[in-house]
Chain A
């Protein structure tokens, strides 16, 4: 029935080190865990990407995240909303594609602020409202005055009835209660939501004419661009895809060829190896000869010296013969000491000196002469060997030079063609890469072009739906009393389900459009826990009303901290509740707490049964055990600051306290 479905698929925080992603599904989505793990940030950033005021993010996110992207579907059309987290004034980029394809598409840009005329850039709020087919209206500041000033109704007005921030849950100041001016405006917004604004019908008519005009403009724009592309011979998208694929194939082939060459350079070198072997052999021979030469040289020296010793010995022996003759040698002598004239015996010779007779000496001389002959022979041989080795070494040296020359020549001959081939392939690859880039650019342009067709198609279907709505509005114009009555019934059933004590006099106030329980207005209820239950119920019944009526409200409900006032209450909120009242209500009864979850889950199931879409995002510190056990699948994220059970420590799961500057300039996205 509704033509204004919003479905959130993924929240992606693009970071410096990695991306942080939270997936979402139709129905109930539970995010729970310890405090300070980033749970609230998730909802805050989702709302920010849908056009909220600027937000503050904690330092873990600041040092880890570059920007955020919300991947969603607006009436089944895929969009990605990308917004700078730190500079809220920057234009918001909306891509018509999946997150992975952001690179290949150009975005539409929208202004994040609400103040904009039709002459300036369209605002993000306008874009979303338009996609969801919510009528564009301006609300009177002072509704009772005919000439009151007007202010455009934005997505932020609507979100007051979809999103309860932590401060808002069970708060007396929820939905601007206490601020008279804004309360008045919010009542008008409430009427708008239920199409009971006085101007609703004319608004729808206005929208229909706006969209028709837009469609006309787009059609002519499309015609002009098509002609232009044709004139400039732009290829079709299919052709471009084909080209890109074929280029990629060519690149692969080239790469193969390159690998091939590298292999061939190594193996194609038989001749080279042959020369190398020859050179090795020559080197071995050289070493061999040098050793021989060295040994011979050593021998030569030894033997020459020995020969000289022998010659000297012969001289000495001959002298001995002469000396024996001249001096004469007696072993035993007695004489008078020339100084003191005492007698001396001189016979202590044999230890120190020898006396050899002539024959022996002659014999020795001959023997040595023979030895000298032998040595002369050895000396000659060694000289010959040295000469031979030197000669061989010279020859080998020449051969070595020749072999080296052959090797260098051969290397040059065999490698050069490979190198040339390789260079050719590398430059061809570069050319191909350039072409590929060009085609990708062309592809982007083409994608833009075809988007226009999509837009025109969507506008046509929007116009059809709006006409249907107009019909319905004209037929069964709803009355506010009717609506409040129905909502009051819903609230009653809800409180019944929860099992509160003393359920009576439950309604929606006709004056404030806010809940009344036991006859007491919401703002006057003292028990914080009771207020939590009622505030969550209020949003839930509005969501539920979508199944029955045409609503100008997103099918989204976000609650930050379901268990506020029900379980452990933060210090900052303690003063806002009356403990006694809480006790009296039996607020800490875990059954009531679990029942809230169960109600929401069964609401989602009803939507599903009817084939309609809704999304309920719940953030809590501690979910009732019964719920986590039975509905495990609804938990999309669970964080533990201590990382117990391997759970991520938070949304930023790679946060390291010691590295406070974790920036790395990532230029890839």
Chain B
């Protein structure tokens, strides 16, 4: 239920669900049909996709191509502040996963090495096809650029992020 007297778009459930669907859709399975998305990686990729400036810096540190962005994507007030809640707040991710699970859009697999791995089923993939406007278009753009880091292990990804965050306030 909506308890707040104002809207904070980043808090909207649907927005976040959509975001996660897109992440799962394009990053869930590699070209070689490998499942790669643990909960950790889902969290990390979700964080990156919500912080475009950090995203480009991580891509740079990892030696990959950066995303081409418009001014209104990086020249904002929010890009000045480094909010790392999304990176560390496990609860949010879990709730979203449960929601997607409840809507029967997920497939979960398991192996000894990685633990639980998540991907979308056909229904989920269908939904994603329709998430095509405004914000989601932009998210798609980011996610597609992250495919190169799809298989990178979590340790390395974390180190990229630490490097970028250590450098100091993000300035654009």
Which residues on the B side are within 8 Å of A346 (C-beta)?
95, 98-99, 102
A354 touches B8 (CB 8 A): yes
B15 touches A316 (CB 8 A): yes
Given contacts A319-B136, A338-B108, A353-B16, contact A305 B76 (CB under 8 A): yes
B75 touches A324 (CB 8 A): no
Given contacts A326-B131, A337-B101, contact A316 B10 (CB under 8 A): yes
Q: A320 is contacted by which of B15, B71, B101, B110 (Cβ under 8 Å)?
A: B15
Report A367 CB to chain B, min CB distance, Å: 9
Q: Which residues of A are at the interface with B, using a C-beta cutoff of 8 A?
A: 302, 304-309, 311-320, 322-324, 326-329, 331, 333-335, 337-339, 344, 346, 348-350, 352-357, 360-361, 364
The count of A-to-B residue pairs whose CB atoms sit within 8 angstroms is: 141
A354 touches B7 (CB 8 A): yes
CA distance A349 to B106 in the complex (A): 19
A357 (CB) vs chain B CBs: closest residue: B2
A364 touches B7 (CB 8 A): yes
CA distance A60 to B34 in the complex (A): 111
Cross-chain pairs A/B with CB under 8 angstroms, 29 sampled = A304-B75, A306-B76, A308-B73, A308-B75, A309-B76, A315-B134, A315-B135, A315-B138, A316-B10, A316-B15, A316-B135, A320-B12, A322-B18, A327-B14, A327-B17, A327-B18, A327-B103, A328-B103, A329-B14, A335-B103, A335-B104, A344-B101, A344-B102, A346-B98, A346-B102, A349-B95, A350-B3, A353-B95, A354-B12
A334 (CB) vs chain B CBs: closest residue: B102
CA distance A344 to B103 in the complex (A): 12
CA distance A324 to B131 in the complex (A): 10
Tell me the dominant secondary structure on chain A's binding face. Answer: helix
Report A13 CB to chain B, min CB distance, Å: 83
B133 touches A311 (CB 8 A): no
CA distance A368 to B124 in the complex (A): 32
Chain B positions 101-148 with a Cβ under 8 Å from a chain A Cβ: 101-104, 106-108, 110, 116, 127, 130-131, 133-136, 138
Q: A305 is contacted by which of B11, B15, B75 (Cβ under 8 Å)?
A: B75
Is B92 in the interface zone, CB < 8 Å from A? Answer: yes
Q: A319 is contacted by which of B7, B15, B98, B127 (Cβ under 8 Å)?
A: B15
- Chain B contact-residue range equals 35 or more
B72 touches A352 (CB 8 A): no
CA distance A335 to B98 in the complex (A): 9
Most buried by B among A308, A318, A337, A355: A308
Given contacts A312-B72, A318-B133, A356-B2, contact A323 B101 (CB under 8 A): no
B17 touches A350 (CB 8 A): no
B77 touches A326 (CB 8 A): no
Known: A322-B18, A329-B13, A331-B1. 4 other contacts (CB 8 A): A326-B130, A326-B131, A327-B17, A344-B101
B21 (CB) vs chain A CBs: closest residue: A327
B98 (CB) vs chain A CBs: closest residue: A346
CA distance A349 to B71 in the complex (A): 34
Is B167 in the interface zone, CB < 8 Å from A? Answer: no
A302 touches B77 (CB 8 A): yes
Which residues on the A side are within 8 Å of B103 (C-beta)?
327-328, 333, 335
